[in-house]
């Protein structure tokens, strides 16, 4: 056999050997590939499991300053009243993120090369729902005498206003977007090719505001007053409208009630509300200073009063205080006689 034929036979044998070797190791190579992928998957799962042990994941911190004011009517030395005032600036921070202890059992699933992550709804993570840095607050204006109770009430109102401002700036949506990005980047850094993150929806409640429907009075300013003689509290708008309040209305809800007052009194016929809340019963008494019961104008007003307006107010109040709220809405004339009750 010459050298040329011998070389060709050797080449054929080598090719057949390589082909046989590749055929025999095909499944092994596939298993090795899947083993590598499963290792990456396991690393991602371990990383998220360790992350869940932190319990709370903050993805957004909002730093704000709020200004709160209070006026107090104090009887004069001989006659009339003196007006005391205080204006304070409170800095604070609100942390928004995820309480990972609320994750469900199926919060991380793997399908082939894709990770599916389900996170709980975003929420405020500050302990005790207190957001102010009281040690850093400043009071540039303080006239007259103020009690410790006054200072406490002022700080609680500032705390409620800070939370409200952050909510109105859509902090929850920003935190949700940040959270999705953080988890996606973490898993992709671990070698997982595709990551889909889902966040549980929040309660749809948003503080009542007048910033819609083209309604005026968006820039309406108001101040808080206290009458030192009888302890009554009320809010006075720049146009002279007055909302007096008493009972179990906390500061956070009060701001929404004030916005309702501005919105639902845009016709300016009921320039005064008397709001009282005891337990689960809320009473709103509107005072109409332009009408007298029994007159043609009053009868026309009652007939033309859109029930939809009152129902809209009722729906807003029930959303604010809860669906089981006992609600009474009435309107009286300038002499205190009832025009209607809902």
Cα 267–Cα 274–Cα 239 angle in degrees, nearest 5: 45
Phi then psi for residue 117, to 5 deg, are: -120, 130
80 versus 33: which is more confidently predicted?
80
Q: Which residues contact 47 (CB under 8 A, 6 or more apart)?
A: 186, 187, 190
**183: burial class by Cβ within 10 Å (0-12, 13-18, 19+)?**
buried
**162: burial class by Cβ within 10 Å (0-12, 13-18, 19+)?**
buried
pLDDT tens, position by position, 189-242:
878 888 899 999 887 555 555 443 433 344 567 889 988 888 889 998 877 888
Q: Taking 90 as the threshold, does the pLDDT of residue 12 lie above it?
A: no
pLDDT tens, position by position, 175-185:
999 999 988 88
Token representation of residue 207: 């503080």
335: left (phi over 0), alpha (psi -120 to 50) or beta: alpha
Q: In sequence order, what are the beta bridge partners of 117? A: 108, 197
Question: Are 265 and 273 in contact, with CB atoms under 8 Å apart?
Answer: yes
d(CA 73, CA 242): 15
d(CA 265, CA 282): 18
Burial 250-274 (b: 16+ CB within 10 A, else e): ebbbbbbbbbbbbbbbeeeebbbbb
pLDDT tens, position by position, 116-160:
888 999 999 998 888 999 889 999 999 988 989 899 999 999 999
Q: What is the 3-state secondary structure (H, E, C) of the chain?
A: CCHHHHHHHHHHHHHHHHHHHHHHCHHHHHHHHHHHHHHHHHHHHHHHHHHHCCCEEEEEEEEEEEEEEEEEEEECCCCCEEEEEEEEEEEEEEEEEEEHHHCCCCCEEEECCEEEEEECCCEECCHHHCCECHHHCEEEEEECCCCHHHHHHHHHHHHHHHHHHHHHCCHHHHHHHHHHHHHHHHHHHCCCCEEEEEECCCCCCCCCCCCCCCCCCCCCCEEEEEECCCCCEEEEECCCCEEEEEECCCHHHHHHHHHHHHHHCCCCCCCEEEEEEECCEEEEEEECCCCCCCCHHHHHHHHHCCHHHHHHHHHHHHHHHCCCCEEEEEEECCCCCEEEEC
253 versus 85: which is more confidently predicted?
85
Give residue limits of the domains in the chain. Answer: 43-199, 222-341
Cα 210–Cα 215–Cα 219 angle in degrees, nearest 5: 60
Distances (CA, A) of 140 to 63, 87, 192: 20, 6, 55
Instruction: State the pLDDT confidence band at 18, using cuts at 50, 70 and 90.
Output: very low
Proportion of the chain above pLDDT 90, given as a percent: 16
Burial 67-89 (b: 16+ CB within 10 A, else e): ebebbbbeeeeeeeeeebebbbe
pLDDT tens, position by position, 238-294:
778 888 998 888 888 888 888 888 777 665 556 788 899 888 899 988 887 777 777
Give residue 13's pLDDT: 45
81 versus 185: which is more confidently predicted?
185
Give residue 44's pLDDT: 55
Give residue 8's pLDDT: 52
d(CA 258, CA 264): 10
Cα 193–Cα 198–Cα 202 angle in degrees, nearest 5: 160
For domain 222-341, the CATH class is mainly beta
Distances (CA, A) of 61 to 25, 78, 103, 157, 173: 54, 52, 22, 21, 13
């Amino acid at each position: 056999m010459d050298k040329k034929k011998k070389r060709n036979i050797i080449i054929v044998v080598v090719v057949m050997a390589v082909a046989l070797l590749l055929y025999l190791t095909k499944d092994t190579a596939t298993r090795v590939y899947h083993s590598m992928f499963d290792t990456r998957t396991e690393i991602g799962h371990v990383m998220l499991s360790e992350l869940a042990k932190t319990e709370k994941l903050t993805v957004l911190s909002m730093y704000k300053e709020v200004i709160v004011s209070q006026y107090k009517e104090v009887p004069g030395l001989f006659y009339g009243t003196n007006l005391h005032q205080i204006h304070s600036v409170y800095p604070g921070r609100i942390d928004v993120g995820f309480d990972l202890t609320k994750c469900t059992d199926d919060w991380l699933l793997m399908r082939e090369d894709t990770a599916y992550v389900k996170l709980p709804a975003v929420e405020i993570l500050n302990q005790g729902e207190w957001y102010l840095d009281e040690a850093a607050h400043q009071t540039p204006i303080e006239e007259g005498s103020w009690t410790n109770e006054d200072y406490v009430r002022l700080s609680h109102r500032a705390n409620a206003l800070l939370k409200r401002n952050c909510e109105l700036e859509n902090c929850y949506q920003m935190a949700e977007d940040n959270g999705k990005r953080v988890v996606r980047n973490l898993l992709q850094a671990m070698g997982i090719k595709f990551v889909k993150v889902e966040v549980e929806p929040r309660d749809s409640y948003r503080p009542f505001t007048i910033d819609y429907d083209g309604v005026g009075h968006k820039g309406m300013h108001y101040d808080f007053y206290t009458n030192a003689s009888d302890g009554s509290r009320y809010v006075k708008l720049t146009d002279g409208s007055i909302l007096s309040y008493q009972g179990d209305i906390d500061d956070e809800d009060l701001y929404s009630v004030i916005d309702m007052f501005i919105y639902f009194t845009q016709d300016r016929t009921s320039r005064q509300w008397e709001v009282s809340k005891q337990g689960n019963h809320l009473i709103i008494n509107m005072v109409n200073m332009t009408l007298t019961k029994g007159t043609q104008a009053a009868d026309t007003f009652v007939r033309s009063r859109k029930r939809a307006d009152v129902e809209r107010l009722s729906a807003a109040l029930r959303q604010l205080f809860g669906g089981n709220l006992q609600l009474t809405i009435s309107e009286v004339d300038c002499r205190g006689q009832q025009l209607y009750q809902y």
